[in-house]
A = this chain, B = another copy of it.
Amino acid sequence: MNGKMIWPQTATICEVGLRDGIQNEKKILDVEEKLDILDSIVDSGIKVIEIGSFVHPKAVPQMADTGELAKRMKRVDGVEYRVLVPNLKGLQRAHDAGITKAKLTVSASETHCMANFNQSPLEMMEGFQPCVEFAAKHDIAISGAMSSAWGCAWEGTLPVTQIEKITRGFLDLGINELSLSDATGMADPRQIYEMGGHLRKAFPEVTWVLHLHNTRGMALACAVAALQVGITVFDGAFAGFGGCNFIPGAAGNVATEDLIHMLHEMKVDTGVDLGKAMKTGRLGERLMEHEGGSYVLRAGRNADLVNEKAQKQEN
Protein backbone atom coordinates (compact mmCIF):
# COMPACT_ATOMS: atom_id res chain seq x y z
CA MET A 1 0.00 0.00 0.00
CA ASN A 2 1.26 3.44 -0.90
CA GLY A 3 0.65 6.87 0.57
CA LYS A 4 -0.62 9.73 -1.54
CA MET A 5 1.50 12.84 -1.36
CA ILE A 6 0.39 16.25 -2.59
CA TRP A 7 2.36 19.33 -3.57
CA PRO A 8 0.69 22.68 -3.18
CA GLN A 9 1.59 25.23 -5.84
CA THR A 10 2.70 27.86 -3.38
CA ALA A 11 3.99 28.28 0.16
CA THR A 12 4.77 31.33 2.28
CA ILE A 13 8.09 32.00 3.98
CA CYS A 14 8.23 34.17 7.12
CA GLU A 15 11.76 35.34 7.86
CA VAL A 16 12.25 35.32 11.64
CA GLY A 17 16.06 35.54 11.67
CA LEU A 18 16.11 39.12 12.95
CA ARG A 19 14.15 37.95 16.00
CA ASP A 20 14.48 34.27 16.82
CA GLY A 21 17.68 33.81 14.79
CA ILE A 22 19.78 36.39 16.61
CA GLN A 23 18.11 36.85 19.99
CA ASN A 24 20.49 34.50 21.77
CA GLU A 25 23.61 35.38 19.79
CA LYS A 26 26.68 36.62 21.65
CA LYS A 27 27.35 39.41 19.21
CA ILE A 28 24.68 42.11 19.31
CA LEU A 29 23.96 43.61 15.91
CA ASP A 30 23.53 47.37 15.73
CA VAL A 31 20.63 49.04 13.95
CA GLU A 32 22.67 49.77 10.80
CA GLU A 33 23.52 46.08 10.49
CA LYS A 34 19.93 45.05 11.07
CA LEU A 35 18.78 47.55 8.43
CA ASP A 36 21.22 46.02 5.92
CA ILE A 37 19.87 42.54 6.64
CA LEU A 38 16.30 43.77 6.44
CA ASP A 39 16.95 45.40 3.04
CA SER A 40 18.44 42.16 1.83
CA ILE A 41 15.45 40.13 3.05
CA VAL A 42 12.98 42.47 1.36
CA ASP A 43 15.06 42.42 -1.81
CA SER A 44 14.81 38.61 -1.94
CA GLY A 45 11.03 38.85 -2.20
CA ILE A 46 10.08 37.62 1.27
CA LYS A 47 6.80 39.26 2.28
CA VAL A 48 6.53 38.41 5.98
CA ILE A 49 9.37 39.49 8.24
CA GLU A 50 9.63 39.31 12.02
CA ILE A 51 11.94 42.25 12.66
CA GLY A 52 12.33 41.88 16.43
CA SER A 53 10.49 41.87 19.70
CA PHE A 54 9.41 44.32 22.38
CA VAL A 55 10.46 42.40 25.43
CA HIS A 56 12.41 43.76 28.37
CA PRO A 57 15.71 45.14 26.99
CA LYS A 58 17.64 43.72 29.94
CA ALA A 59 16.24 40.25 29.39
CA VAL A 60 17.03 40.24 25.67
CA PRO A 61 19.57 42.98 24.85
CA GLN A 62 19.75 41.80 21.24
CA MET A 63 16.19 43.12 20.79
CA ALA A 64 16.61 46.41 22.70
CA ASP A 65 16.71 48.51 19.52
CA THR A 66 13.65 47.02 17.82
CA GLY A 67 11.83 50.34 18.25
CA GLU A 68 14.62 52.27 16.55
CA LEU A 69 14.81 49.68 13.79
CA ALA A 70 11.06 49.95 13.21
CA LYS A 71 11.22 53.74 13.04
CA ARG A 72 14.16 53.85 10.64
CA MET A 73 13.34 50.98 8.29
CA LYS A 74 12.03 51.52 4.78
CA ARG A 75 8.47 50.20 4.54
CA VAL A 76 7.76 48.44 1.29
CA ASP A 77 4.13 48.01 0.26
CA GLY A 78 2.89 44.46 0.57
CA VAL A 79 5.52 43.46 3.14
CA GLU A 80 4.38 42.55 6.65
CA TYR A 81 6.80 43.82 9.32
CA ARG A 82 5.89 41.75 12.36
CA VAL A 83 7.14 41.93 15.93
CA LEU A 84 6.76 39.67 18.93
CA VAL A 85 5.27 41.24 22.05
CA PRO A 86 4.78 39.58 25.44
CA ASN A 87 2.15 41.94 26.84
CA LEU A 88 0.32 45.28 26.58
CA LYS A 89 3.39 47.31 27.42
CA GLY A 90 5.30 45.69 24.58
CA LEU A 91 2.40 46.27 22.24
CA GLN A 92 2.25 49.96 23.17
CA ARG A 93 5.97 50.29 22.43
CA ALA A 94 5.41 48.54 19.10
CA HIS A 95 2.59 50.95 18.28
CA ASP A 96 4.78 53.93 19.21
CA ALA A 97 7.31 52.65 16.67
CA GLY A 98 4.64 52.47 13.97
CA ILE A 99 4.27 48.69 13.92
CA THR A 100 0.98 47.31 12.56
CA LYS A 101 1.43 43.56 13.12
CA ALA A 102 2.26 41.91 16.42
CA LYS A 103 2.48 38.33 17.64
CA LEU A 104 1.42 37.24 21.14
CA THR A 105 3.05 34.09 22.38
CA VAL A 106 2.29 31.58 25.12
CA SER A 107 3.65 28.17 25.99
CA ALA A 108 1.12 25.40 25.45
CA SER A 109 2.69 23.52 28.36
CA GLU A 110 1.27 24.10 31.85
CA THR A 111 4.57 23.09 33.48
CA HIS A 112 6.71 25.21 31.17
CA CYS A 113 4.39 28.20 31.61
CA MET A 114 4.31 27.85 35.41
CA ALA A 115 8.10 27.45 35.55
CA ASN A 116 8.73 30.59 33.47
CA PHE A 117 5.85 32.87 34.46
CA ASN A 118 4.19 31.31 37.48
CA GLN A 119 0.93 31.35 35.52
CA SER A 120 -1.02 28.75 33.59
CA PRO A 121 -1.26 29.29 29.80
CA LEU A 122 -4.91 30.37 30.08
CA GLU A 123 -4.11 32.77 32.92
CA MET A 124 -1.37 34.25 30.78
CA MET A 125 -3.78 34.58 27.87
CA GLU A 126 -6.16 36.61 30.05
CA GLY A 127 -3.43 39.24 29.86
CA PHE A 128 -3.83 39.22 26.07
CA GLN A 129 -7.37 40.67 26.32
CA PRO A 130 -6.23 44.28 26.84
CA CYS A 131 -3.74 43.71 24.01
CA VAL A 132 -6.40 42.80 21.47
CA GLU A 133 -8.53 45.75 22.62
CA PHE A 134 -5.57 48.13 22.21
CA ALA A 135 -4.76 46.55 18.85
CA ALA A 136 -8.34 46.96 17.57
CA LYS A 137 -8.32 50.62 18.56
CA HIS A 138 -5.01 51.26 16.77
CA ASP A 139 -5.39 49.11 13.68
CA ILE A 140 -2.76 46.59 14.67
CA ALA A 141 -3.21 43.06 13.37
CA ILE A 142 -2.50 40.34 15.92
CA SER A 143 -1.36 36.77 15.45
CA GLY A 144 -0.72 34.17 18.10
CA ALA A 145 1.99 31.64 18.75
CA MET A 146 2.18 28.67 21.06
CA SER A 147 5.53 27.24 22.01
CA SER A 148 6.00 23.62 23.11
CA ALA A 149 3.21 22.76 20.67
CA TRP A 150 5.06 19.67 19.44
CA GLY A 151 6.69 18.67 22.68
CA CYS A 152 7.82 20.13 25.95
CA ALA A 153 11.14 19.68 27.69
CA TRP A 154 9.27 19.08 30.96
CA GLU A 155 6.22 17.11 29.84
CA GLY A 156 7.25 15.46 26.57
CA THR A 157 4.45 15.28 24.02
CA LEU A 158 1.42 17.30 25.11
CA PRO A 159 -2.07 15.85 24.68
CA VAL A 160 -3.81 17.23 21.61
CA THR A 161 -6.63 18.41 23.90
CA GLN A 162 -4.14 20.87 25.43
CA ILE A 163 -3.31 22.32 22.00
CA GLU A 164 -7.05 22.54 21.26
CA LYS A 165 -7.60 24.39 24.52
CA ILE A 166 -4.96 27.02 23.73
CA THR A 167 -6.29 27.32 20.18
CA ARG A 168 -9.81 27.99 21.49
CA GLY A 169 -8.30 30.54 23.89
CA PHE A 170 -6.78 32.42 20.94
CA LEU A 171 -9.98 32.16 18.90
CA ASP A 172 -11.96 33.57 21.85
CA LEU A 173 -9.61 36.54 21.72
CA GLY A 174 -10.39 36.95 18.02
CA ILE A 175 -6.93 35.74 16.93
CA ASN A 176 -7.03 33.25 14.08
CA GLU A 177 -3.49 33.24 12.69
CA LEU A 178 -1.60 30.81 14.90
CA SER A 179 1.97 29.65 14.88
CA LEU A 180 2.75 26.17 16.21
CA SER A 181 6.26 26.45 17.52
CA ASP A 182 8.85 23.72 17.99
CA ALA A 183 11.82 25.52 19.52
CA THR A 184 13.09 22.27 21.05
CA GLY A 185 13.01 20.48 17.69
CA MET A 186 10.94 17.57 18.99
CA ALA A 187 8.33 17.42 16.21
CA ASP A 188 8.50 14.43 13.91
CA PRO A 189 6.85 14.18 10.50
CA ARG A 190 4.22 11.67 11.59
CA GLN A 191 3.18 13.93 14.47
CA ILE A 192 2.98 16.92 12.14
CA TYR A 193 0.83 14.90 9.76
CA GLU A 194 -1.45 13.51 12.45
CA MET A 195 -1.85 16.44 14.85
CA GLY A 196 -1.50 19.07 12.13
CA GLY A 197 -4.15 17.30 10.08
CA HIS A 198 -6.43 17.05 13.11
CA LEU A 199 -6.06 20.74 13.98
CA ARG A 200 -6.65 21.83 10.39
CA LYS A 201 -9.94 19.89 10.38
CA ALA A 202 -11.00 20.91 13.89
CA PHE A 203 -10.29 24.62 13.34
CA PRO A 204 -10.85 25.44 9.67
CA GLU A 205 -10.99 29.16 10.55
CA VAL A 206 -7.34 29.19 11.63
CA THR A 207 -4.38 30.05 9.39
CA TRP A 208 -1.59 27.84 10.76
CA VAL A 209 2.05 28.79 10.71
CA LEU A 210 4.74 26.21 11.41
CA HIS A 211 7.81 27.33 13.33
CA LEU A 212 10.41 24.59 13.04
CA HIS A 213 13.86 24.18 14.52
CA ASN A 214 16.33 21.70 13.09
CA THR A 215 17.55 20.47 16.48
CA ARG A 216 17.37 16.80 15.51
CA GLY A 217 17.58 17.25 11.73
CA MET A 218 13.85 16.70 11.14
CA ALA A 219 12.74 20.24 10.21
CA LEU A 220 12.55 19.78 6.43
CA ALA A 221 10.92 16.37 6.84
CA CYS A 222 8.31 18.03 9.08
CA ALA A 223 7.73 20.74 6.47
CA VAL A 224 7.01 18.07 3.86
CA ALA A 225 4.51 16.42 6.21
CA ALA A 226 2.88 19.80 6.87
CA LEU A 227 2.30 20.32 3.15
CA GLN A 228 0.34 17.05 3.13
CA VAL A 229 -2.25 18.52 5.50
CA GLY A 230 -2.39 21.92 3.84
CA ILE A 231 -0.11 23.82 6.23
CA THR A 232 1.88 26.02 3.86
CA VAL A 233 3.20 28.91 5.97
CA PHE A 234 6.68 28.40 7.44
CA ASP A 235 8.98 30.44 9.64
CA GLY A 236 12.67 30.25 8.79
CA ALA A 237 15.82 32.08 9.85
CA PHE A 238 18.54 33.22 7.44
CA ALA A 239 21.60 30.95 7.62
CA GLY A 240 19.81 28.74 10.13
CA PHE A 241 20.71 30.95 13.08
CA GLY A 242 18.95 30.44 16.38
CA GLY A 243 19.08 27.77 19.00
CA CYS A 244 17.33 26.14 21.87
CA ASN A 245 17.54 27.52 25.41
CA PHE A 246 17.63 24.04 26.86
CA ILE A 247 20.25 22.50 24.56
CA PRO A 248 23.55 24.39 24.36
CA GLY A 249 25.16 24.02 20.94
CA ALA A 250 22.08 22.58 19.25
CA ALA A 251 21.12 23.58 15.72
CA GLY A 252 18.79 26.56 15.34
CA ASN A 253 15.77 27.52 13.30
CA VAL A 254 15.33 25.77 10.00
CA ALA A 255 17.46 27.75 7.54
CA THR A 256 15.37 29.92 5.24
CA GLU A 257 17.62 29.02 2.30
CA ASP A 258 17.27 25.27 2.91
CA LEU A 259 13.49 25.55 3.17
CA ILE A 260 13.20 27.59 -0.03
CA HIS A 261 15.64 25.33 -1.88
CA MET A 262 13.65 22.21 -1.03
CA LEU A 263 10.30 23.83 -1.81
CA HIS A 264 11.54 25.06 -5.19
CA GLU A 265 13.06 21.67 -6.03
CA MET A 266 9.59 20.22 -5.30
CA LYS A 267 8.07 22.88 -7.62
CA VAL A 268 6.33 24.63 -4.72
CA ASP A 269 6.69 28.35 -5.44
CA THR A 270 7.56 30.73 -2.61
CA GLY A 271 7.87 33.92 -4.65
CA VAL A 272 11.37 34.31 -3.19
CA ASP A 273 14.58 34.63 -5.21
CA LEU A 274 16.70 31.89 -3.62
CA GLY A 275 19.96 33.39 -4.85
CA LYS A 276 19.09 36.62 -3.07
CA ALA A 277 17.96 34.77 0.07
CA MET A 278 21.40 33.10 0.05
CA LYS A 279 22.94 36.58 -0.07
CA THR A 280 21.01 37.46 3.09
CA GLY A 281 22.34 34.30 4.74
CA ARG A 282 25.92 35.12 3.78
CA LEU A 283 25.51 38.70 4.99
CA GLY A 284 24.13 37.37 8.27
CA GLU A 285 27.09 35.00 8.68
CA ARG A 286 29.52 37.83 7.97
CA LEU A 287 27.86 40.14 10.49
CA MET A 288 27.46 37.46 13.18
CA GLU A 289 31.07 36.44 12.51
CA HIS A 290 30.35 32.73 12.40
CA GLU A 291 28.58 30.14 10.28
CA GLY A 292 24.96 29.27 10.91
CA GLY A 293 23.49 25.85 10.13
CA SER A 294 22.38 26.26 6.53
CA TYR A 295 23.17 23.36 4.22
CA VAL A 296 22.56 25.25 1.02
CA LEU A 297 24.94 28.06 2.01
CA ARG A 298 27.59 25.40 2.57
CA ALA A 299 27.00 23.14 -0.43
CA GLY A 300 25.24 25.44 -2.90
CA ARG A 301 22.05 24.68 -4.75
CA ASN A 302 21.56 21.58 -6.89
CA ALA A 303 21.71 23.88 -9.91
CA ASP A 304 25.03 25.43 -8.82
CA LEU A 305 26.73 22.03 -8.88
CA VAL A 306 25.42 21.15 -12.32
CA ASN A 307 26.27 24.58 -13.77
CA GLU A 308 29.78 24.42 -12.37
CA LYS A 309 30.40 21.03 -13.99
CA ALA A 310 28.90 22.23 -17.28
CA GLN A 311 31.16 25.27 -17.30
CA LYS A 312 34.24 23.19 -16.58
CA GLN A 313 33.38 20.94 -19.49
CA GLU A 314 32.96 23.88 -21.84
CA ASN A 315 36.33 25.33 -20.92
Please report the C-alpha to C-alpha distance between residue A197 and residue B191 in the assembled complex, in whole angstroms. 23
Say whether A230 faces chain B, with CB atoms less than 8 Å apart.
yes
Among residues of B, the one whose C-beta sits closest to the C-beta of A200 is: B2
Among residues of B, the one whose C-beta sits closest to the C-beta of A266 is: B190
What 1/0 flags go to A1-16 for Cβ under 8 Å of B?
Answer: 1111111000000000
What 1/0 flags go to A280-315 for Cβ under 8 Å of B?
Answer: 000000000000001110111111011011100100
**Which segment, of A120-128, A163-171, A216-224, faces chain B?**
A216-224
Question: Is A295 a contact of B215 with CB atoms below 8 Å?
Answer: yes
Binding site for B on A (CB under 8 A): 1-7, 151-156, 184-186, 188-191, 193, 197, 200, 214-218, 220-221, 223-225, 227-230, 244, 246-247, 249-251, 255, 258, 261-262, 265-267, 294-296, 298-303, 305-306, 308-310, 313
Among residues of B, the one whose C-beta sits closest to the C-beta of A305 is: B153
Question: Is B154 a contact of A255 with CB atoms below 8 Å?
Answer: no
Residue from B7, B152, B189, B299 within 8 A of A262 (CB atoms): B189
* Sample of 7 more A-B contacts, CB < 8 Å, known A217-B295, A244-B299, A250-B299: A3-B6, A3-B227, A154-B306, A154-B310, A184-B305, A189-B221, A216-B299
A228: chain B residues within 8 A (beta carbon)? 2-5
Question: Is A229 a contact of B3 with CB atoms below 8 Å?
Answer: yes
Give min CB distance, A151 to chain B, whole Å. 6
Question: Is B2 a contact of A3 with CB atoms below 8 Å?
Answer: no
A224: chain B residues within 8 A (beta carbon)? 189, 221, 224-225
Question: Is A221 a contact of B251 with CB atoms below 8 Å?
Answer: no
Question: Is A186 a contact of B262 with CB atoms below 8 Å?
Answer: no
Question: Is A156 a contact of B262 with CB atoms below 8 Å?
Answer: no
Q: A188-B262, A221-B262, A265-B188 are in contact. Are A230 and B2 (CB under 8 A)?
A: yes
Residue from B2, B186, B216 within 8 A of A197 (CB atoms): B2
